Structure 1
């Protein structure tokens, strides 16, 4: 059974064997009051940027948990790097996409204010509040998945800025796919041909539109920027699940060369 994971973003350097590590605040309360962690148990503390420390708990108070360092390791983020451009969606479906995408191995999420997005992040305060919700969701999902890396949530983009982003990533030799129900080529087919050449992508970006789909103008502009429109499968997927489906297929064909998990 894998050990539970808690996050301390202030942790910079790995403590030496036998050194004490202290966990405070909400993470300590969750460990002690929710999971009923007791002295003698082992758990992992990560810093969200690849550092993982295994500790043996020696003190479990309400707002503080201390333990002796058993081992520590710095884990690579893993490659290929996976980014998901997720259109803002109603009823929490964009949040669901972040949660599932994190569990499936995404490294980055980019909120997309698409033309047909019902949800609007109209002002800076609302945008920051919504971004924080995405960040909290990614954090919780990373802990659930026992990851030492917490995915990054970028600033919101619109369709014009997304075209510039796609252009820059294509120029850097990355793969960029626009998930589209009217595409003529399937993602499986396109990735399969790349795999047959023996090439291994360094990074991939998937763009998923809102519930109402993307406009013809968005499709033309994003494809002109270099994105490849692909069909995901024989069924129409929700905005919440399309990205996770694409990530799963990509990871099956191009398994991560460095994984987050250690035994």
Structure 2
């Protein structure tokens, strides 16, 4: 059954017009009145729904029973990453959402190839948020991870009230699998070429813990996903 995200709060018994993105999805699938769909609003659980009306631009559904179903990971991983270039960030947001990421913080670092600011950064943030929503529709998650506004790495680290783990190739970093599994963690990952030494030192000086994924050097878009998978899939659902 198709799964559709609605940004507005849902309620059993309500008759609603689907938002444009969800309506287009229904039209592309050529659903007809009487066909069933599953709706979720990101606030927890999901709803049965039935298509009531198919118009040229409007699709209306009748919202049915709510089911308190969650498919979240047992550990909340907040991923902060210096954005990789080209389409790799799109792919990373999609896969991180599928793997259960709690939130994504795009960062611009000294060695970042992709450098965003102003209106362009806002458009990219909205684009990545829509990718996260689509990934939730596909994978069954009922809570959409927030994709935060792009920030410079230095000011973001300086403004953090707490610390987390930083993926590092430096001598003395600890194996990720050797650390006790937390209930939530912020994971910082660098861009192509890694974080600059001064950036990594600034994080370490504030108490961030350097961790590694073993002897192989993974690509900028692979390393955070490997760490995320190790944390979320091992923990399972709460």
Q: Provide the TM-score with structure 1 as the length reference.
A: 0.81
The verdict on how the C-alpha distance between 1:230 and 1:26 changes in structure 2, with shifts beyond 3 A counting, is same
Higher mean alpha-carbon deviation, 144-153 vs 206-215, is at 144-153
- The answer to whether the Cα contact below 8 Å between 2:80 and 2:106 also exists between their aligned partners in 1 is yes
Residue number in structure 1 paired with 2:166: 178
Q: Deviations over 1:200-257 (max 9, x none)?
A: x231111111011111111111112121111113432222222211111011332231
Unmatched segments (≥5 aa) in structure 1: 171-175, 196-200, 258-263
CA change 1:98–1:24 in 2 (3 A) is: closer
Among 163, 174, 197, the alignment partner of 2:157 is 163
The residue aligned with 1:153 is 147
Specify the alignment match of 2:4 in structure 1.
6
Residue 29 of structure 1 and its aligned partner are, at CA, apart by 1.9
- Structure 2's unaligned 5+ residue stretches are none
Q: Secondary structure at the match of 1:218?
A: helix
**CA apart distance, 1:13:** 4.3
Structure 1 residues 202 and 219: alpha-carbon distance in aligned structure 2, compared to 1, 3 A threshold: same
Equivalence for 1:131: 125
Whether the 8 Å CA contact 1:86–1:94 is kept in 2: the answer is no
State the number of aligned residues. 236
| Structure 1 equivalent of residue 177 of structure 2 | 188
> Relative to 1, partners in 2 of residues 1:94 and 1:44: Cα closer, same or farther, differing over 3 Å?
same
Q: Is the 8 A contact 1:178 1:206 kept in 2?
A: yes
Separation in 2 of the partners of 1:157 and 1:256? 31
* 2:218 aligned residue: 237
SS in 2 for 1:239: coil
Conserved 8 A contact 1:179-1:209: yes
Closer/same/farther in 2, CA of residues 169 and 76 from structure 1, 3 Å limit:
farther
Kindly indicate whether the alpha-carbon contact (under 8 Å) linking 2:45 and 2:68 is maintained by their aligned counterparts in 1.
Answer: yes
In structure 2, the residue matched to 1:29 is 24
Conserved? CA contact 1:110–1:153, under 8 Å:
yes
